[in-house]
Amino acid sequence: MGSHPAKALIAMLALCAGPALSQEPGWHYSHLPGEGDRASLGCSQESEAGNYTCLAVRCEDDFSTGVHVHSSRVGGVAGAWEFTLDRETRSLVAEAGGPYGGRLLDQDGWLLDGLRHGTFVYLRHEDDAEDGFALIGLSGSFTAIAEALHWCAPRAPAGEQNAVQDVETEMDEGDRE
C-alpha cells in the first residue's frame, strides 16, 4: 500500500512533463496535444516551461506547410514579428489562431527556407522593441522539419493526376488449371 502514493506521484509528474518538454531549447517534434509527428518545434536557447519563444513548422490539415509562432508573450503572438535570419532582416505578420497561437504569413517561403538551411534566427514581436531578441539555433532543424513534413509531400492537382484504371485480367482457358 505504501507504494501507491509514490506511483501516483510518478504518474502525475509524467503527465506534467509533456508541456515542459515542448518548450525545451533546440529542434524536436512538437509535444503539444494532438500534434504528434505533424510538427517540428524549434525553441530559443533561453526557453523554459513558463517563458518561451518557439517556431513551429507544421503539416496543415490541407497538407500545406505552415510556420507558426508559439510564445509565452503576455500580449499574445498576433501582429508583426521582426526576424533576423543569417544576417537578413524581415518583418512577418502572425495571424492569431491555430494550435501555436499564430500562423506567420510567409508568402514567398523565405522563413521556411531559412529555417531549413540557415544557422540561426533572432526574433521578437515588433511591439517589444525594448526587449531583446530570442535566439533559435538552427542546428538539427533540417532533419526535424523534414520528419514533420514527410506527409506534406507536394500533391498533384486533380487535373494532373493519373486516371484510375480499371484493372481486370482475362485469363485464357488454357491458363486455368
pLDDT at 2 over 60: no
Please state the rounded mean pLDDT for residues 6-35: 60
pLDDT at res. 118: 96
Looking at residue 48, its pLDDT comes to 87
pLDDT of residue 176: 54
Provide the pLDDT for residue 72. Answer: 94
Taking only the tens place, the pLDDT of each residue in 23-75 is: 778 899 898 888 878 999 999 998 988 899 999 999 998 888 999 999 999 99
Cell of 112: 521556411
Q: Are 101 and 71 in contact (CB under 8 A)?
A: yes
**pLDDT at residue 86 greater than cutoff 60:** yes
* Region 24-154: CATH code: 2.60.40
- For the question of whether the overall pTM of this predicted structure is more than 0.85, the answer is no
Name the burial class of residue 44, with classes exposed (0-12), middle (13-18) and buried (19+) by CB atoms within 10 angstroms of its CB: buried
Helix (H) or strand (E) holding 54: strand 53-59
pLDDT at residue 82, as a whole number: 97
Residue type, 55: L
Tell me how many degrees the CA angle 47-87-139 measures, rounded to the nearest 5.
45
Q: What is the pLDDT of residues 101-143, one digit of tens each?
A: 999 999 999 999 999 999 999 999 999 988 889 999 999 999 9
